[in-house]
């Protein structure tokens, strides 16, 4: 059977988790580490980290905003070559999404308790170590959430080119993108007692900026590949000449976004390095020698966002399905 190149997108998160597991197993010198404490705060085992439901529920606002951004950017860069989405498929995705949230809530209460669950949901808690800060995980993700507005379109552009999918600049996803911008301001207001000051203040905090770099190294290899696989698979194959595409205004837009992204990343790195990333890392009881290094912080972090990845994928596909179903309905109305 001929291997479908598009399946490389599915291999990317799989390899990320396999390599991360191998690194953690080597660090702890044990082949089976599901019952070993691996969380950087020295609190949870690997199995608890994978099913860290309270942490996931605290990230739902971030993931929801990101799903609207991701789907909207994809729709803005995709022409009419996508195949139709049936109403049954959309409803199935909605049911799967709702069921996943309900099961996650039950899991959170069962494994992590009432206080941890609602502290994360209310955006009062940032970390498992008991760090309570107004704005919670929403504020912690503000720097990375901002830069993702530059990263997401570039990521989609690169992979659509890599897998030879046509691109057109269309307004169909603009509503989703504008709604994601609206959520960025709305959630910041709601979670910070009607203040927008964190949108600026977080950019001077080395801890927030170092966390942002880790998030930017997480999304492209765990979150984005899964919905993108299904979205690209849903497109009718076809690729026009590169010369025509180079003239496309998309190329100029991408160049500007790359520049802004690089400036943002360089700024975050400079502030984090100046503060000493090593001093920001935690040193739990299992630490061997100096504080946890960047490879460990990344490896354990990937598993911490396992549930987030599932929610993000389901929501992106649901939003895409709603958009396609709406477009099909409009076409039928015009046709009649």
User: What is the per-residue pLDDT for 245?
Assistant: 47
pLDDT band at 82 (very low <50, low <70, confident <90, very high): low
> pLDDT tens across 172-212, in order?
899 999 999 999 999 999 999 999 999 999 999 998 999 89
- Model confidence band, residue 41 (pLDDT cutoffs 50, 70, 90): confident
Tens of pLDDT, residue by residue over 318-334, are 999 998 877 666 655 56
Between the CA of residue 65 and those of 102, 250, 255, 303, what are the distances in Å? Answer: 19, 23, 24, 21
Token pair 């990521």: residue: 155
Q: 126, 112 in Cβ contact below 8 A?
A: no
User: Is 33 in a helix, a strand, or coil?
Assistant: coil
Residue with the bigger pLDDT between 1 and 321: it is 321
Does residue 65 contact residue 149 with C-beta atoms inside 8 Å? no
Domain ranges of the chain: 5-324
What is the percent of the chain where pLDDT is above 90?
65
The better pLDDT of the pair 190, 87 is held by 190
Which H or E run includes 280?
A: helix 277-280
Nearest-angstrom CA–CA distance, 57 and 117: 8
CA distances from 284 to 36, 37, 213, 281, 322 (A): 13, 10, 22, 10, 45
3-state secondary structure of 45: strand
The tally of CA atoms less than 13 A away on the side-chain side of residue 227 is 33
**Residue 176: other Cβ atoms inside 10 A:** 22
Asked if 27 contacts 40 with a C-beta cutoff of 8 angstroms, the reply is no
Please give the Cα distance from 298 to 131 (Å, whole number).
Answer: 20
The predicted model scores a pTM of 0.92
């Amino acid at each position: 059977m001929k291997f479908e190149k598009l399946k490389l997108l599915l291999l990317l998160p799989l390899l990320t988790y396999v390599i991360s597991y191998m690194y953690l197993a080597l660090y702890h010198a044990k082949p089976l580490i599901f019952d070993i404490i691996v969380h950087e705060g020295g609190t949870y085992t690997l199995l608890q980290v994978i099913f860290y439901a309270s942490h996931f529920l605290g990230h739902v606002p971030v993931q929801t905003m990101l799903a609207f951004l991701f789907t909207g950017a994809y729709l803005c860069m995709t022409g009419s070559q996508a195949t139709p989405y049936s109403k049954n498929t959309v409803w199935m995705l909605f049911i799967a999404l709702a069921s996943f949230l309900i099961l996650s809530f039950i899991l959170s209460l069962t494994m992590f308790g009432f206080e941890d669950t609602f502290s994360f949901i209310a955006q009062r808690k940032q970390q498992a170590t008991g760090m309570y800060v107004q704005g919670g995980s929403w504020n912690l993700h503000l720097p990375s959430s901002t830069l993702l507005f530059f990263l997401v379109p570039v990521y989609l552009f690169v992979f659509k080119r890599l897998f030879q999918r046509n691109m057109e600049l269309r307004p169909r996803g603009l509503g989703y993108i504008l709604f994601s911008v609206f959520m960025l301001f709305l959630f910041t207001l709601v979670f910070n007692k009607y203040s927008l000051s964190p949108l600026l203040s977080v950019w001077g905090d080395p801890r927030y900026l170092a966390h942002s770099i880790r998030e930017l190294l997480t999304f492209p290899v765990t979150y984005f590949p899964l919905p993108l696989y299904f979205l690209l698979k849903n497109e009718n194959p076809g690729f026009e000449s590169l010369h025509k595409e180079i003239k496309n205004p998309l190329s100029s837009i991408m160049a500007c976004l790359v520049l802004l992204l690089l400036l943002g990343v360089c700024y975050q790195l400079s502030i984090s390095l100046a503060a000493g990333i090593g001093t920001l890392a935690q040193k739990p009881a299992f630490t061997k020698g100096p504080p946890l290094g960047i490879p460990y912080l990344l490896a354990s972090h990937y598993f911490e966002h396992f549930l987030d990845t599932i929610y993000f994928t389901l929501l992106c596909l649901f939003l895409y399905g709603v958009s396609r179903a709406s477009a099909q309905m409009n076409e039928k109305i015009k046709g009649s």
